[in-house]
């Protein structure tokens, strides 16, 4: 999989970024990603079928409920939900799709390829959400040193 820097830039420049798999628990990774991106002033929208609001934001139950103009989707769901969410997002015409590292399945890339959809997968969103902080900044520097960052 060859991810391009332009794909990542396009993902973050979207007017609305939906995040599937946002947890209501502040201890869970899905909540931490949502909260951190919100603090960094990204226009994030939480998706969770079991919540009406998360962190003071209206929470959407499913992809089809998302407001128009939602151009990017970050998938943080458990693997057994990822491919269904991916198919819904492709069907809705969401332009930029990122499957968080460890959420992808063996079929995720096949689904994207069959739909002729380039997606970002196998990368941690924290390494690319500016400003990059803490351990993620160090990890990004190591990856860059060895030529592993998208160009």
**Is this model's pTM higher than 0.85 or not?**
yes
User: What CATH number corresponds to the domain at position 103?
Assistant: 3.40.50.720
Within a domain: 151? no
Q: Are 119 and 112 in contact (CB under 8 A)?
A: yes
Within a domain: 86? yes
Strand order in the sheet with 120-123: 44-47, 17-20, 72-75, 96-100, 120-123
Within a domain: 9? yes
Within a domain: 150? no
Q: In 100-133, which positions are buried (b, 16+ CB within 10 angstroms) versus exposed (e)?
A: beebbbeebbebbeeeeeebbbebebbbbbeebe
Within a domain: 88? yes
Within a domain: 52? yes
Q: What is the pLDDT of residues 21-37, one digit of tens each?
A: 999 999 999 999 999 99
Look at the chain and report how many structural domains it folds into. 1
Q: What is the pLDDT of residues 34-82, one digit of tens each?
A: 999 999 999 999 999 999 999 999 999 999 999 999 999 999 999 999 9
Domain assignment of residue 114, given as a range: 5-145
Q: Kindly state the helix (H) or strand (E) to which residue 11 belongs, with its residue range.
A: helix 5-12
Within a domain: 116? yes
């Amino acid at each position: 999989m060859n991810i391009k820097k332009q794909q990542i830039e396009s993902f973050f420049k979207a007017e609305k970024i939906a995040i599937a798999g946002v947890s209501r628990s502040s201890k869970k990774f899905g909540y931490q990603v949502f909260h951190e991106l919100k603090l960094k002033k990204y226009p994030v929208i939480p998706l969770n079928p079991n919540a009406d609001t998360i962190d003071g934001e209206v929470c959407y139950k499913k992809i089809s409920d998302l407001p128009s103009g939602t151009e990017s989707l970050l998938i943080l769901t458990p693997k057994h939900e990822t491919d269904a969410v991916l198919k819904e997002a492709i069907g809705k015409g969401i332009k930029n799709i990122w499957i968080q590292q460890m959420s992808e399945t063996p079929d995720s890339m096949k689904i994207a390829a069959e739909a002729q959809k380039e997606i970002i997968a196998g990368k941690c969103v924290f390494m690319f959400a500016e400003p990059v902080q803490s351990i993620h900044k160090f990890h990004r520097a190591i990856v860059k040193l060895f030529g592993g960052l998208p160009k």
